[in-house]
């Protein structure tokens, strides 16, 4: 995944165990001043299958804190989306590539700062669980 080398995106790679409980590499990035619709289209197109991509939508009407964290999953070429924030979440629902690109384009301005809410994250698929040594004898 080379999203952080895309024009319009500035990012970093968090290695496993570095400020996170995940045992996999996490990509954190923001949009920079060069971000446009082409940046968004490339970003969405490069989400690996089974990975989870998350960004912030400050305008989403929420019953708790303002806004919502939007999670996107791609399975093959099908995209699904869900929103969540402080104790609530809605279910996964399908979204087309075009609608997702339009939605994320409207949220560029909320994903440009250095605070944790502004950082988009990409969580690659979890690796398959390894068998424990005692499971080989079953």
- In the block, which residue shows the tokens 């690796």? 127
Distance of CA 134 to the CA centre of its chain: 36
So what's the pLDDT on residue 99?
Answer: 97
Across all residues in the chain, what is the average pLDDT?
Answer: 83
Contact 55, 85 (CB under 8 A): no
Asked which of 29-33, 39-43, 125-129 is least confident by mean pLDDT, the reply is: 125-129
So what's the pLDDT on residue 1?
Answer: 47
Q: What is the DSSP string of the chain?
A: --GGGSTTEEEEEEPTTSSSS-SS-EEEEEE-TT--HHHHHHHHHTPPTT-EEEEEETTS--SSSSSEEEEEEEETTEEEEEEEETTEEPPPEEE-HHHHHHHHHHTGGGS-SSSTTT-EEEEPPPPPPPPPGGGGG-
pLDDT in tens, 52-98: 999 999 999 877 778 999 999 998 889 999 999 888 889 999 999 99
């Amino acid at each position: 995944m080379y999203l952080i080398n895309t024009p319009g995106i500035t990012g970093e790679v968090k290695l496993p165990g570095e400020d996170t409980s995940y045992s996999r590499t996490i990509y954190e990035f923001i949009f920079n001043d060069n971000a446009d619709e082409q940046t968004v289209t490339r970003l969405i197109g490069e989400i690996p299958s089974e990975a989870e991509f998350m960004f912030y939508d400050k305008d989403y009407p929420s019953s708790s804190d303002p806004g919502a964290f939007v999670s996107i999953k791609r399975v093959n070429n099908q995209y699904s989306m869900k929103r969540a924030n402080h104790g609530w979440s809605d279910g996964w629902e399908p979204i087309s590539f075009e609608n997702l690109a339009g939605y994320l384009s409207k949220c560029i301005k909320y994903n440009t700062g250095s605070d944790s809410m502004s950082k988009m994250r990409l969580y690659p698929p979890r690796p398959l669980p390894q068998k424990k040594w005692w499971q080989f004898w079953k």
